[in-house]
Chains A and B, each alone.
Chain A
Amino acid sequence: MSEYKTRSPEDVSVGDKLDPVAIDITTGLVVCGALATRDFEPVHHDKAEAQATGLPDVFMNILTSQGLMTRFATDWSGPEAVVKSIDLQLGAPNVPGMVMTMSGEVTGVDSESGVVDIKVLGENNIWGMHMQGTVQLALPKEA
């Protein structure tokens, strides 16, 4: 178990930045992400249905965006962190061919409870902000 490190609140300061992660938005990710979250809305797997809404192709469902953003946060924190909340404003769709870059910065650390607030942004290279908001994690007190 020692190969996985989890940050403790003492390791973290307001202003700490998370290393950005770039995600290739592929048809596979969009379609399979919808499937993995049991979201069978046709716009997430059927290009013709998506184009009927005015978009060029199938687009990522919200549950996949939430999944990618919590992954981004827990990859940074380590596996003993507990996700407390994810609060997102939704922006432009993620469509195959785009690259979404997730970035984040610690905006709050409560050393009492171990809860840290991370301001996050997922931005694609074509249309800009896909999602932005706050992920809250509870970090274990002792490392």
Chain B
Amino acid sequence: MNADELQAFEDEIYAFVGQEVYPPTPAPDDVNMPMIRQWAEIMGDTNPAYLDADWAANSSRGRTIAPPAMMYAWGQEGFQVTKGRSPNAQSNLVALFNKHGYTGVLGTNVKQEYFKEVSPGDNVTIQMVIDNISERKTTSRGTGYFFETLSTFTDQHGDVIGTQRFKVLKFIPQEQPAAAASADGGLEVPTRIASVRGPDNGWWWDAVDEGKVLIQRCKSCQTLRHPPRPMCGECQSMEWDSIESTLKGEVLSYTCVRYPHVPGYPKDPICAVIKLAEGTNLVANVVGCEYEDVSIGMQVTGKVEQVDEKTTLPQFYPA
């Protein structure tokens, strides 16, 4: 898309701002007990304000109310949406985005505000407009635009009972790794990123899989080294063997990775450089204590442990 085409496209999308998606439309049914009860059962919500007329009669409200989070439900189009929704400003805007390659869709934010509670017998009218469209943004999901709809809900007296703002990202999808569906379509539990094993370091990880942490040793001058590499930094010999670490050590430096939480990893993992008693350093997780309890110089003891279905790692505990 050249600059003129982009300008023409943006003129077209921004013309949607302010357009009505739904003109004021009363819900087909009044707020009613059967729908409230069904909602409450499924949500596991036992709030007597919704369900218990006797309790509610003596409460400060004097009556049962509908769950506020049902506000949007009352006016929803019915089962016919499975055959496609009738065209409106929002679907026309979406179609325009799709035509220009912005086929990705992601609901990013939803905010409901409630101003007045409603009860069985009240009727909820919804009106929805396209409130705003952002400038072109580059996001982790791809380049696109955020658009926000504003729904306003009123009761039969014309009082505004609440509003909803819903923000959607329409974007040009980047190549994404296949979603985490296993062959049978079931859920695949994420695991840690697999170690990269090459000719120079594969032996070290293979030993970890067998429960041992090895330290490379120069055959010529006996100097220990880690991480594994082909040549001794002291005498340039390429002859080497290894010794097994006792996994006794101390914390040389440490940090806590708080953000982002990566699926497959524990939350707020403590990552440390451990100085092993043998003299070499090793990067590993400190576990079995809180971040606040870790300190530089702290004595630790390592264990080689299976941390998920596919991963075995040395981890260090307070000694």
Q: Which residues of A contact B (CB under 8 A)?
A: 1, 4, 23, 29, 32-33, 35-42, 47, 51, 54-57, 62-64, 66-71, 74-75, 79-80, 82-90, 95-98, 126-129, 133, 140
- Which A residues are CB-close (under 8 A) to B69? 63, 66-67, 69-70, 83, 86
Contact assessment for A40 and B82 in the assembled complex, using a CB-CB cutoff below 8 Å: yes
A interface, over-half SS: mixed
Chain B residue with Cβ nearest A31: B42
| Given A36-B39, A56-B181: A86 and B112 interface contact (C-beta under 8 Å) | yes
CA distance A64 to B189 in the complex (A): 24
Residues of B within 8 A of A (CB): 35, 38-39, 42-45, 47-49, 55, 58-61, 67-70, 72-74, 76-82, 106-114, 117, 176, 178-182, 185-190, 261, 263
Given contacts A1-B55, A80-B49, A85-B114, contact A98 B70 (CB under 8 A): no
Tell me the total A-B contact number using a CB cutoff of 8 A. 146
- B73:A84 contact, CB within 8 angstroms: no
Are A37 and B49 within 8 A (Cβ)?
Answer: no
User: Could you tell me if A56 and B108 are in contact, using CB atoms closer than 8 angstroms?
Assistant: no
Minimal beta-carbon separation of A59 from chain B (angstroms): 11
Residues of chain A contacted by B107 (CB below 8 angstroms)? 62, 90
Which one, A33, A41, A87, A89, contacts B43 given CB within 8 A? A33
A51 in complex: contacting residue of B82, B176, B185, CB < 8 Å = B185
Are A126 and B58 in contact, CB atoms less than 8 angstroms apart? Answer: no
B-side contacts of A85, CB under 8 Å: 111-114
A-B contact pairs, 16 of them (CB 8 A): A1-B48, A1-B55, A1-B58, A36-B39, A36-B73, A40-B76, A40-B78, A54-B179, A56-B179, A56-B181, A56-B185, A74-B49, A82-B114, A83-B114, A85-B111, A126-B263
Please tell me which one of the listed residues B70, B112, B187 contacts residue A95 in the complex, with CB atoms under 8 A apart.
B187
